[in-house]
Amino acid sequence: MAYYYNEPSRTFSEYLLVPNLTKKECIPENVSLKTPVVRYKAGEKCPLEINVPVASAIMQSVSDATMAIALARSGGISFIFASQAIEKQVEMVEKVKQYKAGFVVSNSNLTPEHTLTDLLALKTKTGHSTVAITDDGSSSGRLLGIVTSGDYRLSRTPLKSKIREFMTPFDSLIYGAEGISLGKANDMIWDHKLNCLPIINKDNHLLYLVFRKDYDDHKENPDMLLDQDKRMIVGAGINSRDYRERVPALIEAGADLLCIDSSDGYSEWQGETLHWIKQRYGGEVRVGAGNVVDKEGFLYLAEAGADFVKVGVGGGSICITREQKGLGRGQATAVIEVAKARNEYYKQTGVYVPICSDGGIVHDYHMMLALAMGANFVMLGRYFARFDESPTRKMKIGSNYVKEYWGEGSNRARNWERYDYGWDSKQKLEFEEGIDSYVPYAGKLKDNLDISMSKIKSTMCNCGATTIDELQRIARITLVSSTSIIEGGAHDVILKES
């Protein structure tokens, strides 16, 4: 007969943290939210960590290049959605990697003989307003000038005008010589009130560009997530069907981390995908897998080579897998069991495999509970879909602004190509596991994420912890009754109208 669990599966809303002694050193300024995201061996340093424990979901309505750049600036990681053509996903990854802090290899270059029309087309393609003008139009050609948006006016400059007619010529440029330090380059930018400083070699060939905005970004975003070349770190979703073509293209584009995207990761399809990637790249390519909800699922993926494991089935706000299939598990219970399995696996093998809690986050404090229960980081869809940086439309419905948000299990997502050009009824899903919806518009990512992370830091201090690892070792967690949930909110008062 079927196996029955004796205990009900529970959600984050059914738990609370119990305070520990807050020591004097436990203040938010001393709290580190840095967390590992890929497997590592005991005694070794994790090769990839993020500075805040959040990732944006592998969804069309959440994670594109704009979201990835914004989240990396704040210290988290995005996984560019996989339900699109390989070349489109590659373009998004490349766009994120081009946001290199410090010395930037110019990706927007033209010759003096190009026209304003060519310049505008390049600007539309890359989004760059600063274009280097070289003798051969390459990023390493002899520098002849620079064009910025201040060098021309669309209302007065004819579209057929040659760039040489309105560019800032080399003789008028201030530039740095090969070998200059980033600190010195930034000093020159400030001393001469520049927005961009070209760096050239002794033959006047362009090497790099240094931008004022990168310096400002670092000051405003101290947790910015960068690789060893000071480019933003970005993840990318893959599937278990076209991975033989998609993975090489994403790696070539510079993706730092991959993740197999599926609502049910406890499958031989994912096992085969992991084995292929590990054998093809000798373990050098980092890839997560999921989703699972129990010990067996975790062990299957960990032993197959997953660098992290995503936890959660049916808990997303737009996911209806449980309604449609009766499949899933309460998110808190799933995280607790998988975290225990992860710790046991570490003791037995000496290999630590991080876990990501995906789904079931309604309130900010749910993130805190997920971390305390053992998750190394959380993946969020609805949370990020509300922001300016998500790829969906901002709309006004009644007196409120909203943004579109749909699940990857919906017809809209699965048939992404046909959605733009008309539905093909023969290709529709027989049933959906996700819905098409709206979420309340919430403004800029940084403003909201800063508040959420401040709450987590403050709560960690109440728990007597200054790191996530310490939190997971000393946290005390209690179940709550339905009446205590009511007690925890505003009650027995008349609220003032805002």
Residue 221: is the preceding peptide bond cis (ω within 30°)? no
Answer whether 87's CB lies under 8 Å from 110's CB: no
Give the tokens for residue 101: 């802090």
Note if 46 is an active site residue.
no
> From the CB of residue 475, how many other CB atoms can be counted at a distance below 10 Å?
21
Note if 153 is an active site residue.
no
Selecting among 196, 319, 356, 461, the annotated active-site residue is 319
- The strand pair at 355-358 and 377-380 is best described as parallel
Answer whether 376's CB lies under 8 Å from 33's CB: no
In the chain the first and final C-alpha atoms are separated, in Å, by: 57
All residues at 6 or more sequence positions from 497 whose CB lies less than 8 Å from its CB, including other chains: none
Give the tokens for residue 126: 């890359």
Closest CA to 317 of 66, 8, 12, 84: 12
The four Cα atoms 135, 137, 142, 145 give a dihedral, to 10 degrees, of: 80
All residues at 6 or more sequence positions from 198 whose CB lies less than 8 Å from its CB, including other chains: 132, 143, 146, 173, 175, 176, 206, 208, 209
The size of the chain, in residues, is 498
Q: Which amino acid is at 494?
A: I
Q: Which residue(s) pair with 378 in the sheet?
A: 54, 357
Element (H, E) at 497: none
3-state secondary structure 105-118: CCCCEECCCCEHHH
The helix-helix angle for 65-74 and 445-462 (nearest 10°) equals: 40
* Cα angle: 340, vertex 343, 346; to 5 degrees: 150
Closest CA to 72 of 256, 224, 228, 258: 224
Cα–Cα distance measured from residue 34 to residue 44, given in angstroms and rounded to the nearest whole number? 16
Which residues are known to be catalytic?
319, 418
